[in-house]
Amino acid sequence: MSVNPWRVVFLDRNTLSPDTTLHPLSFPHQLQVYDHTADDQVATRIAQADVVITNKVRLSRSALQQATRLKLVAVAATGTDIVDLAACADQGIAVSNIRGYAVHSVPEHVFALMFSLRRNIVAYHASVQAGRWQQAQQFCYFDYPISDLAGATLGIVGQGALGQAVATIGRALGMKVLFSGRKDGADRGSLYTPFQQFLAESDVITLHCPLNADTRDLISDHEFSLMERKPLLINTARGGLVNDQALVQAMRSGQISGAGIDVVDAEPPPETHPLMSLLDMPNFILTPHIAWASRQAIQALADQLIDNINAFQAGTAKNIVMQP
């Protein structure tokens, strides 16, 4: 390892809460922190870096090729689709990520969306604001259907830490839990329900898988057509897992009973984004990619981020996605 101070560049500090503490690194270094970094600024900002920290700023092959000192890309998230991993491999750059930090925050958000939608909380709240309770002239009214989660079938795509945590909560609430088999039909064993059967039998479907070439548009027109029970769809994973136009059609046609979405393929979405057209629907909830963002989870992420960099510099690398 070089005795010279390492240059560490954080490209998008504002993607972590300002209340989050970034503990100092344990080795001599020069830290440059940027609140935001535009695509056309990346190459210049990382050119002399030994370590680059990024949460959502994309690292392309062309930018990485100019970073001749770069040793480590420390992703401040679990997903690494923002990094050209092949380019990192070609240049001998290690890539680390964050793991297991949101095993409470994400599942709690998932169930917050489920409860809100199954019990029509948003619709009833809006109707009270509009004076409907007074118009009803009795102690309650039944404008929107309410359904229990107990007894419903919860379909989970993804059996990692988050999927398993969601399953645990679902079972505690009296839900029947299904884990999805592969869309391509490959046999994954008796613990998994074949994908088409999974779609047909689920009352709620929640996504907890990475976005890659195999999972992009995992849910599109054909998949919605197979959802016999008109389920809720919950997506707190990645926007590209669900085809946006297909979701709009499924919502407008009543093919599904509602959707709780925390992630979009373009963040923030432009006003013309297809999902923005659904905001007038009481059975559609769009939150701004905050399922992961409890105070406790963000601090755990920040602590693990620093630990990852310290470990790599000390020669005991951990949470490595790709080792050169």
The residues facing 205 across adjacent strands are 155, 233
- Pull the structure tokens for residue 203: 């009352």
- Pull the structure tokens for residue 53: 């920290």
- Catalytic residue flag (residue 289): yes
Residue type, 323: Q
Query: Among 238, 252, 271, 295, which one carries the catalytic annotation?
Result: 238
- Catalytic residue flag (residue 223): no
Q: Which residues in 117-137 are b (16+ Cβ under 10 Å) and which e?
A: bbbbbbbbeebeeeeeeeeee
- Catalytic residue flag (residue 271): no
Q: 235 φ, ψ to 5°?
A: -130, 110
How far does CA 23 lie from the centroid of its chain?
Answer: 25
What Å distances lie between residue 256 and 73, 228, 233, 243, 250, CA to CA?
40, 9, 8, 14, 6
The residues facing 242 across adjacent strands are 219
- Pull the structure tokens for residue 160: 């990692």
Q: 316 burial class (0-12, 13-18, 19+ CB within 10 angstroms)?
A: exposed
Distant-in-sequence, close-in-space partners of 116: CB < 8 Å, separation ≥ 6 = 122, 260, 285
Specify the DSSP element, H or E, that contains 32: strand 29-33
- Give SS3 for 118: helix
Query: Among 23, 125, 252, 267, which one carries the catalytic annotation?
Result: 267
How far does CA 236 lie from the centroid of its chain?
Answer: 4
Q: Which residues are catalytic?
A: 238, 267, 289
